[in-house]
C-alpha cells in the first residue's frame, strides 16, 4: 500500500493517516489542494519523499478544482496553489522540488486548460512512481553495506510511510532482510511524536523483521557496549557539503556512533540533496508547537507540570564529518562530499 496515491475513479488523492498508527489504519481522501497542505502541516503525511509525492498530487488537485477555462487563468491558479503549498513545512526540500517540477509542466503545456489538467496529473503520478523505483535502487546499494548478523540502530521513520512506497533507510533494512540476512533492529522511539515506536515498529512487524524499541537516550549505551554494527537514518535535506538535516536526535546518534567507530549511513534520494546550500546551517529548521512535548502521558498522568513550557525543535544538523557515507539511488557517496555529491545528483 502506498502512503499517498491518486484514486482515478473519484479523481482525488488519498493518504494513510499516519497520526492514527499503530492503533488503527485509516486512509483519508482529499479533493482540495488546501486540505493537502493542511495534511502536510498536521503530519497526516510526513517524510520528505512522501511530502513531495503529496505536493505533486496537491497540485494536480488544484488544476482539477479550478474552474478556469483558459490556460493563462489556470496557470495563475496553479501558481497560487504552489505558493500556499510551499509553506506547509519548511525543512524538507522535496516539497519545493516537487512544486517546482509541477510548475515547469504548467509553464510548458500548450493546448487547452483540460490538456494542462491532464498533464499535471500525469506528472504527479510520475513523481510518485519514480519515488518507488528510486527507493528500490537506493535500497540495493544500501543493503550491500549490511552484513549478515548485524544489529542496526534506526532513527525516526524512513519506510514506506515516509515515502510513496518502500522507503529510504528502512527500505535498506527491508531489502537486506529480503536478501536473507539475519538482522536485528534497535528502533529509537523518536520523541516527541514517537515516529520510531509508532511507525517504524509497525512497519517492521509487517515485514517480519525482529526489533526492539529503545528510548532515544539508550542508543549511546548500545553503541558503546559493542551491541550495534550499523547506524542508518534518512534526511529531509542534505547540503552540498554532506551535512544532513534529519529528525531531531540524529546528530546525537551520529556523534555516539563516531565516538565508537560504528559506521553511520544517511540514505538520501538525490531529490533531497540541495546543492544550492553550502552547509547545513543554512537549512531552515522547523520548530513545532510545544504541546507535542508536553502532552505525552505516563501511566495516565501528564508528563510535565501544569504550567510548564517547552521547546520543540523538529530537526537537527548532523555535520558531514559524522557521516560515513551517503547512500543514493545513483550509488554510495563517500567523502569528500562537496566533490562527490555533485557527481551523483542529476544522473
Percent of all residues in the chain with a pLDDT value above 70, rounded to a whole number: 99
Q: Are 199 and 159 in contact (CB under 8 A)?
A: yes
Please determine, for residue 297, whether its predicted confidence score (pLDDT) is greater than 70. Answer: no
**Topology adopted by domain 139-344:** Rossmann fold (3.40.50)
pLDDT reported for residue 258: 98
Helix %, strand %, coil % of the chain (to 5):
45, 15, 40
- The pLDDT tens digits for 44-84 are 999 999 999 999 999 999 999 999 999 999 999 999 999 99
- The pLDDT tens digits for 170-218 are 999 999 999 999 999 999 999 999 999 999 999 999 999 999 999 999 9
Q: How far apart are CA 127 and CA 294, in angstroms?
A: 37
Per-residue pLDDT band at 246 (split at 50, 70, 90): very high
Q: Are 216 and 249 in contact (CB under 8 A)?
A: yes
304 alpha carbon, distance to own chain's centre: 30
Helix, coil or strand: residue 26: coil
Q: Of 223 and 303, which is predicted with more confidence?
A: 223
**Topology adopted by domain 4-136:** 1.20.120
124 C-beta neighbours (distance < 10 Å), count: 27
CA distances from 103 to 100, 124, 295, 345 (A): 5, 11, 39, 21
Distant-in-sequence contacts of 294-301, Cβ < 8 A, 24+ apart: 296/191, 296/192
Annotated active-site residue in 188, 216, 236, 274 = 236
Catalytic-residue membership of 236 = yes
Helix, coil or strand: residue 96: helix
Q: Where are the domains of the chain?
A: 4-136, 139-344
> Average pLDDT of 106-134?
96
Amino acid at each position: 500500500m502506498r502512503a499517498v496515491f491518486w484514486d482515478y475513479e473519484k479523481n482525488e488523492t488519498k493518504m494513510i493517516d499516519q497520526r492514527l498508527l499503530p492503533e488503527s489504519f485509516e486512509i483519508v481522501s482529499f479533493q482540495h489542494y488546501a486540505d493537502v497542505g493542511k495534511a502536510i502541516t498536521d503530519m497526516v503525511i510526513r517524510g520528505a519523499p512522501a511530502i513531495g509525492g503529496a505536493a505533486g498530487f496537491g497540485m494536480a488537485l488544484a488544476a482539477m478544482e479550478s474552474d478556469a477555462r483558459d490556460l493563462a487563468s489556470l496557470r495563475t491558479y496553479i501558481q497560487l496553489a504552489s505558493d500556499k503549498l510551499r509553506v506547509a513545512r519548511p525543512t524538507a526540500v522535496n516539497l519545493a522540488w516537487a512544486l517546482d517540477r509541477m510548475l515547469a509542466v504548467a509553464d510548458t503545456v500548450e493546448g487547452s486548460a483540460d490538456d494542462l489538467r491532464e498533464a499535471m496529473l500525469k506528472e504527479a503520478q510520475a513523481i510518485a512512481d519514480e519515488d518507488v523505483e528510486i527507493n528500490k535502487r537506493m535500497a540495493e546499494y544500501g543493503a550491500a553495506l549490511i552484513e549478515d548478523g548485524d544489529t542496526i540502530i534506526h532513527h525516526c521513520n524512513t519506510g514506506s510511510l515516509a515515502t510513496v512506497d518502500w522507503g529510504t533507510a528502512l527500505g535498506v533494512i527491508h531489502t537486506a532482510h529480503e536478501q536473507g540476512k539475519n538482522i536485528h533492529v534497535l528502533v529509537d522511539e523518536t520523541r516527541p511524536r514517537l515516529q520510531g515506536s509508532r511507525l517504524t515498529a509497525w512497519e517492521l512487524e509487517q515485514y517480519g523483521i525482529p526489533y526492539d524499541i529503545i528510548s532515544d537516550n539508550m542508543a549511546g549505551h548500545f553503541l558503546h557496549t559493542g551491541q550495534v554494527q550499523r547506524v542508518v537514518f534518512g534526511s529531509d535535506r542534505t547540503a552540498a557539503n554532506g551535512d544532513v538535516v534529519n529528525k531531531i536526535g540524529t546528530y546525537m546518534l551520529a556523534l555516539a556512533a563516531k565516538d565508537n567507530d560504528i559506521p553511520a549511513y544517511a540514505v538520501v534520494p538525490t531529490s533531497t540533496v540541495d546543492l544550492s546550500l553550502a552547509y547545513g546551517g543554512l537549512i531552515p529548521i522547523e520548530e513545532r508547537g510545544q504541546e507535542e512535548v508536553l502532552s505525552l502521558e505516563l501511566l495516565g498522568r501528564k508528563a510535565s507540570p501544569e504550567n510548564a513550557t517547552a521547546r520543540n525543535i523538529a530537526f537537527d544538523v548532523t555535520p558531514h564529518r559524522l557521516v560515513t557515507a551517503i547512500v543514493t539511488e545513483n550509488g554510495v557517496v563517500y567523502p569528500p562530499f562537496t566533490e562527490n555529491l555533485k557527481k551523483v545528483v542529476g544522473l
